[in-house]
Structure 1
Amino acid sequence: MSNESVLVCRGVGKIYTEAGNPLTVLSEVSLNVTKGERISIIGTSGSGKSTLLNTLGGLEAPSQGEVSVGGESLYDVSEEKRARIRNRQLGFVYQFHHLLPEFDAIENVAMPLLLGKVAIKEAQARAKEMLEAVGLSARLSHKPAQLSGGERQRVAIARALVTRPACVLMDEPTGNLDNNTANDVQKLMENLNQEFKTSFIIVTHDSELAHRMDRVLELRDGGLHEVTR
C-alpha cells in the first residue's frame, strides 16, 4: 500500500424524510482510502451500509459533506462528469451479479469499456485478458445462464476491474455463494488486489471475509468506527 489517497469522504451525512419526519442514516462520516488498501464495512441490517456504499460510488448524493475520487469531486460536478469519473475510477460488484443475460462473458466484461468509448476490438481483448485473470479462459463465450453462481460472480469481478479502476466497491460479494465458492472468490479478490494494486471497499456480513481485510470499520449510529483486532 502507498499513502496515495484514491477515495476520500469528509463529513458525509444522509437524511431521508419518512412520514414527514427526518431520518438520519449517515452522520459526519469521514474516510480516507489509500492505493491498494482493502477495507471492510460491517454493521447491523438497516445501519446504512448500502447507502454509504452508494454515496461513495457516486450513485446517491449526500445531504451534506463531500466525496472525491482520484482528487476529483463526485458531487460538485455535472451528472455527465460524475458518470465519467465512475466509469474510469470505480468498479462495482453486488451480491447479485447483474450480468446482462443476452450477452456472453466477454461482452458483459467489455461493457464498461465500450461505455467509456474504447474501440470494440480493444475492449474485447482487454475483457478476454481480465476473464483469463479470474480463471475463466474456458468460459469466454458462455452466457450467464450457462455459468455457475461462482463463475457469474467471477465475471462480475472481471467487469468491475476491466477499466483498471482506482477502487472497487463491493456489496455482499459472497453473500449468495456457498462456502467453498465464497472462499475461492475471496482468494481471487486478494490476488487481484496484489496484482493490480486496486483498493477494495467491501460491505459484508461475512466475518471471515471482513477480517481478512486491512481495516475493519463498523457502521453504527450513523458513523464509522474502527474495529480493533
Structure 2
Amino acid sequence: MNSQVEINPEESRPQSSAEVVLACRQLSKIYRQGTNELKVLREVELEVPKGERLAIVGASGSGKSTLLNLLGGLDTPSEGEVWVAGKNLASLNANERGWLRNASLGFVYQFHHLLNEFSALENVAMPLLIGKQSVAESRAQAQEMLEAVGLGARLDHKPAQLSGGERQRVAIARALVAKPACVLMDEPTGNLDRATAKEIHNLMDRLNRETGISFIIVTHDPDLAAALDRCLHLVDGQLVEDWKPGDHV
C-alpha cells in the first residue's frame, strides 16, 4: 500500500493567507445512552496556522481530551469535519487516516505511553519504521532527535531506567521525529514537578522556533498556557477566546 496520501486540490478546504495545518468546522460530539443525550462539543470552529502554539484550557470533564482525540483522528465526530494538512479526515478510509496521522501529526500525553520493552532510541524510531523508512535511517533520525532534547547519553536506556522528565522528553522526541505539521499534547507536564515542567516548557518553545511545528496543548498549567501564542477556553462545548468565569457563551 502506498504510504503517501494524495491530496486532491478540489477536495481541500479554502485556506487563509497563513498556511493552516489543522482545522475543524461545526465539530460536535454527542454521547447517547438510551433516550439520554449528552452533547460534549457543540459546533466547534478552529484553525491552527503553521507554527502556532495554542493552549486549550477548561474545567475537568469539559471535553478537552475528547476534542484533542477528534482533532487527531483518534475518534469520530457526531457532526462536522476535521481537516489535517488540507485533507478532510472523513474522506479517508481507516488505512489512509492512519498514514496521514503518522505523517502529519504527533501525540504527547500526560502518561508518556512509551513501550517499556524498547529503548529510548527504539521508541523514538517507531513512527519512522511504521512509515516504512529503513532501520538505519530511522535509528539515525531518532538519535538526532534524542540529542536535540538532551538525551544523547540515554539512547539505550529503557523507560524504567529514565526519570519522569526524561521519559516525557522521549515522548516529545517520538512525536517530533517524523517532522509532523502539528503536535497534539494532552497535559504534557501534568505529572511532572515544577522544575521539570519548566524544562519541558523551554524545550517545546525551542523546538517550535527551530522546526516551525504547530503545537495544540491541553493543559491545566496557567504558566504554560500564558506562555503560548493563543489560549482558548472550552466552555459549554465551545471554544471561547478571552473568557473568564461568569461570562456566558
TM-score exceeds 0.5: yes
For residue 237 of structure 2, what is the amino acid of its counterpart?
G
Task: Give the deviation of 1:77 after TM superposition.
Answer: 1.1
Aligned position for 2:72:
57
Corresponding residue to 2:39 among 16, 24, 32:
24
State the shift of 1:203 in Å. 0.2
- The Cα RMSD (Å) is 1.2
* Residue 150 (str. 1) matches residue 168 (str. 2): no
1:96: which partner in 2? Answer: 111
**Identity percentage of aligned residues:** 64
| Matches of 1:187 and 1:128, distance apart in 2 | 20
Q: Tell me if 1:47 matches 2:62.
A: yes
Cα gap change, 1:128 to 1:78, in 2 (>3 Å): same
* Alpha-carbon offset, residue 74 of structure 1: 1.4
Max Rg structure: 2
- Separation in 2 of the partners of 1:142 and 1:43? 36
- For 1:126, the aligned partner's letter is Q
> What is the number of equivalent residue pairs in this alignment?
228
**SS of equivalent residue, structure 1 residue 211:** helix
User: What are the ranges of 5 or more consecutive residues in structure 2 without an aligned counterpart?
Assistant: 1-16, 245-249
1:118 counterpart residue number: 133
d(CA) in 1 for partners of 2:185, 2:134: 27
Amino acid at match of 2:64: K
1:86 is aligned to 2:94? no
Q: Which runs of 5+ in 1 are unaligned?
A: none
Partner of 1:108: 123
User: What amino acid is aligned across from residue 155 of structure 2 in structure 1?
Assistant: L
Q: Which residue of 1 is the match for residue 214 of structure 2?
A: 199
**TM-score, structure 1 normalization:** 0.98
The Cα offsets for residues 123-161 of structure 1, whole Å up to 9 and x where unpaired, read as 000000000000001000000000000000000000000
Instruction: Give a deviation string over 1:176-219, Cα, whole Å, max 9, x none.
Output: 00000000000000000000000000000001101111000000
Cross-structure match for 1:227: 242
> Where does residue 132 of structure 1 map in the other structure?
147
Q: How many Å apart are 1:19 and its aligned residue?
A: 4.9
Give the whole-Å Cα distance in 2 for the aligned partners of 1:150 and 1:195: 21
* Partner SS, residue 150 of structure 2: coil
SS of alignment partner, residue 153 of structure 2:
coil
